[in-house]
Amino acid sequence: MNQNQRLQTLVLAVAAILIVGCASNTVSAPESMDTSTVSESQTDSESKLEQVENPLLEEWTGPYGGVPEFDRMEIEDLKPALQTGMAMNLEEIDAIAANPEPPTFENTIVALERSGRDIGRIFTYWGIWRSNRSTPESRAVQQEMAPELAQFRSQITQNTALFERIKSVYESDEMNSLRPDQKRLVWLVYDGFARDGATLDDEAKERYAAINQELAELHSKFSNNVLADEEGYVEYLTEDQLSGLSDSFIKAAAAAAAERGHEGKYAITNTRSSMDPFLTFSTERGLREKVCGPTIPVATTVTNTTTMP
């Protein structure tokens, strides 16, 4: 995943998607590239990182080259971590764009690939809160930060000086001496920036950025409303309504009901892990129809979570 793809994930994260999955926090340069030189902007970012006390910003430690500290993640740390991470990444981008040396594959494309490590770590936590640990509190933060993240993305993809360096590498004779994978990387970066409005005039860029911000906000609102509607629906079954269901599913439904204060019953919630197995294996036709009904109008009915105009 290159820098532009990370930015796209950000919005769909926003949108994604990571979400996203957010399985990795950065993309390293191909193995044969010289990675011995660390830019001054990266050094400055690391120094500033040490001054900020936020567990979401800390370097990962432990096995496999470091793992996230999920046991320390707190939702109140997410917004300031994102804001700090964005500021640090923009400093890295500005340093690349302002490099007085002629643009090359190494000092522009590779440098761009190395940037964003700090914000990449934060997006891992962001992805967890968007999916596995979604709560009203985390959704509020996502809704608030979605436009800021979209603007952050636009600040990078519409950085004229940065794109001119990328374009120079893309059109340079150096391309002829690059390996196929390196040429592919240059093309992906150039094409990604071009698709994100880098070739537009100033007025069109401003309009494009505004549209992206609005889309990010609407996407986040819709996703959050879907989750809110899903959380709001539960159907409780009795023991005589479990025919056709597996033992493991029955145990999970019993645990879900107990968590909600309904000991002795079985909860079918409006999630795929609960709904799909029930609709697939239950032999109770009338009950399947009853349970399936509420899944259709999620986030479209006129409620406090409606996304309809």
For 109-163, how does the pLDDT look when each residue is reduced to its tens digit (9 = 90+)?
A: 999 999 999 999 999 998 888 877 878 888 889 888 988 998 899 899 989 999 9
Higher pLDDT, 219 or 9: 219
Task: Return the pLDDT at 305.
Answer: 53
Strand partners, 179: none
CA distances (Å), 117 to each of 28, 83, 113, 181, in order? 10, 14, 9, 22
Residue 98 vs residue 216, higher pLDDT: 98
Asked if the model's pLDDT at residue 101 lies above 60, the reply is yes
Q: How far apart are CA 103 and CA 167, in angstroms?
A: 9
Helix axes 202-232, 3-13, angle to 10 degrees: 50
How many contiguous H segments (helices) and E segments (strands) does the chain have?
12, 2
Q: Which two tokens stand for residue 250?
A: 């029955």
Averaged pLDDT, 94-115 = 96
Output the pLDDT for position 35.
39
pLDDT at 56 over 60: yes
pLDDT number for residue 46: 52
**By C-alpha distance, which of 98, 92, 95, 101 is closest to 26?**
92
Q: How far is CA 208 from CA 202, 217, 281, in A?
A: 10, 14, 48
Give the pLDDT mean for 258-268. Answer: 93
| Chain mean pLDDT for the chain | 80
Task: Find out whether 158 and 198 touch, Cβ atoms under 8 Å.
Answer: yes
Q: How confident is the model at residue 39 (pLDDT cuts 50, 70, 90)?
A: very low
φ, ψ for residue 283 (rounded to 5)?
-95, 0
Question: For position 273, what pLDDT does the model report?
Answer: 85
Q: Between the CA atoms of 244, 246, 252 and 258, what dihedral angle is there, to the nearest 10 degrees?
A: 50
Q: Give yes or no for a contact between 19 and 13, defined as CB atoms under 8 angstroms apart.
A: yes
Q: Mean pLDDT lowest for which of 7-11, 120-124, 180-184, 198-202?
A: 7-11
pLDDT at 135: 82
Per-residue pLDDT, 77: 94
Options 1.10.10.10, 2.60.210.10, 3.40.50.80, 1.10.1370.40; which CATH number does 3-224 get?
Answer: 1.10.1370.40
Determine contact, residues 86/154, Cβ cutoff 8 Å: no
Which of 47-56, 107-116, 201-210 is least confident? 47-56
pLDDT for residue 217 is more than 90: no
Token pair in block for residue 243:
């025919």
- For residue 16, what pLDDT is reported? 36
Cα–Cα distance for residue pair 266/247, rounded to 1 Å: 12
The H-or-E segment that residue 215 falls in is: helix 202-232
Domain ranges across the chain: 3-224, 234-295
Q: Are 61 and 8 in contact (CB under 8 A)?
A: no
- d(C-alpha 79, C-alpha 256), whole Å: 31
Among 46-60, 108-122, 270-284, name the one with the lowest average pLDDT.
Answer: 46-60
CB 202 within 8 A of CB 114: no
Within 107-199, where are the H helices? 111-114, 117-130, 136-157, 160-170, 180-195
Copy the structure tokens of residue 226. Answer: 């879907």
